[in-house]
Amino acid sequence: MPFSYRVGSQRIANKFLAYRESKIQNKPLEFDLFQEVFDKQIWNKEPSLSWDSLLDIRAHQIAAKKKPIMLGFSGGTDSMTIWEVFKRNNIQIHSMQLKIKYQSEQEWDLFKNVVPFMRKEAEQYKFKLLIIEQDSNDTLSRFYDSPEWVFSDLAVRVNVVCPERHGIEGNNWPADFIDQDYIYVSGLDKPRHKIVNNRFYIFNDDTTFLNYADPRVDYFFISPELPELHIKQGYLLAKYIITKAVTENKPLSFYNNIHNAKAHHYYDYAVVGCGRFGGDIANSHLQKVLNREQTLLIPENSKITPFYKGRSKKIIYESFQENSKYIQNYLEGLQMLRKDSIIKDIFKDPYNYYSVKDIESKNYGLDENLIPLPLRT
The secondary structure of 91-133, three-state, reads CCCCEEEEECCCCCHHHHHHHCCHHHHHHHHHHHHCCEEEEEC
**Of 262, 337, 287, nearest in space to 78 by CA:** 287
pLDDT at 188: 78
- Provide the pLDDT for residue 176: 78
Q: In this predicted structure, what is the pLDDT of residue 181?
A: 87
Q: In the prediction, which pLDDT does 171 show?
A: 46
Beta strands 183-186 and 217-219 are parallel
Distance (Å, whole) CA 72 – CA 76:
11
pLDDT along the chain (377 residues), means of 10: 82 91 95 94 98 98 97 92 97 90 58 88 95 69 84 65 53 72 89 94 88 80 96 97 95 91 85 89 72 82 83 74 85 92 92 90 96 89
pLDDT in the model for residue 179: 84
Q: How far apart are CA 102 and CA 227, in angstroms?
A: 36
> Residue 258 in contact with residue 295, Cβ under 8 Å?
no
Which pLDDT value is given to residue 170? 45
Contacts of 172 (CB under 8 A, 6+ apart): 132, 135, 139
In whole angstroms, what is the distance from residue 100 CA to residue 83 CA? 19
Give the DSSP letter of residue 315: I
